[in-house]
Amino acid sequence: MIASMLKGIRAYAQALPLISKLKLWKYFVIPILISVVTAIVVASLAYSLSDNVGHYLADFWKWEFGKETFEVISTFLSGLIILILGLLLYKHIVLALSAPFMSPVSEKIEKHFHGKSHDHRTTSFREQLVRGIKISVRNISRELALTIPILLLSFVPVIGVFSTILLFLMQAYYAGFGNMDYTLERHYKYKDSINFVWKNKGIAMGNGIVFVLFLLVPVIGVILVLPLSVTAATTETIKRIHTKELIE
């Protein structure tokens, strides 16, 4: 699976030249706006809620000794948890709402590499949006169910280090999942797409690792994350669709 992850990461190297060559930037205008607005809303909520939650938790410390230190720690931890949950929400909101705009990008990239295929499923703007939302609701429910216990484990010494890595890889997998599905929706039905991503989870993780790291870059990250990640995911996904290379 490590080799597959590296392929998913290396695919980003050709993303920017390919976007320019195929003149795809115009398709990313609305998704970039969606990304920026969502990021601002999530970051604002995380900033405002962290102080409120921190003060609330500090009230549980009934002693004067160490109260200020406890409040600082509780504020930091609550901010971290809110930020992680905010990243989770940001990711799925953006991936879902961008679906109808990313599908044409994926199709143009596939046509560039493989020519026009008559085997594609034809879907409308509404169907693409509904599928994007459906995939995101499915993924966010599973990710939340796993994130909460992993966050609790992160407070355990030693184990906390591994839980952080696990949390990062899980975030990456579901980000890559969403990016791959923009291509898969033309070729596979809902359940078949889920199976395809699971069999190619290394590619999904590799793509998602760069996606998540991009979000750590102020401003530029939320602007470029979709164009580059979707293009990179598309190039790797169509390789596996057309060559039937289903790898773990």
How would residue 63 be classed by pLDDT, with cut points 50, 70 and 90?
low
Lowest-confidence pick of 21-30, 160-169, 214-223 = 160-169
Residue 38 lies in a domain: yes
Residue 57 lies in a domain: yes
Residue 144 lies in a domain: yes
Q: 164-204, pLDDT tens digit by residue? A: 888 899 999 999 999 999 999 888 888 999 999 999 999 99
Structural domain boundaries, residue 230: 2-243
What b/e readout covers 199-227, taking b as 16+ CB neighbours within 10 angstroms?
ebbbbbbbbbbbbbebbeeeeebbbbbbb
Cα 208 from Cα 40, distance rounded (Å): 21
Supply the pLDDT for residue 244. 62
Cα 117 from Cα 196, distance rounded (Å): 20
DSSP structural state of residue 60: T
Work out how many domains the chain is built from and give that number.
1
**Three-state SS across 63-90?**
CCCCHHHHHHHHHHHHHHHHHHHHHHHH
How would residue 19 be classed by pLDDT, with cut points 50, 70 and 90?
very high
Residue 248 lies in a domain: no
Q: Which helix (H) or strand (E) holds 54?
A: helix 29-58
Amino acid at 210: V
Residue 88 lies in a domain: yes
Mean pLDDT value across the chain:
84
**Three-state SS across 75-129?**
HHHHHHHHHHHHHHHHHHHHHHHHHHHHHHHHHHHHHHHHCCCCCCCCCCHHHHH
Indicate the burial class of 152 (C-beta count within 10 angstroms; 0-12, 13-18, 19 or more): exposed
Q: 88-146, pLDDT tens digit by residue? A: 888 889 998 998 899 889 999 999 988 765 456 666 777 888 888 899 899 989 988 88
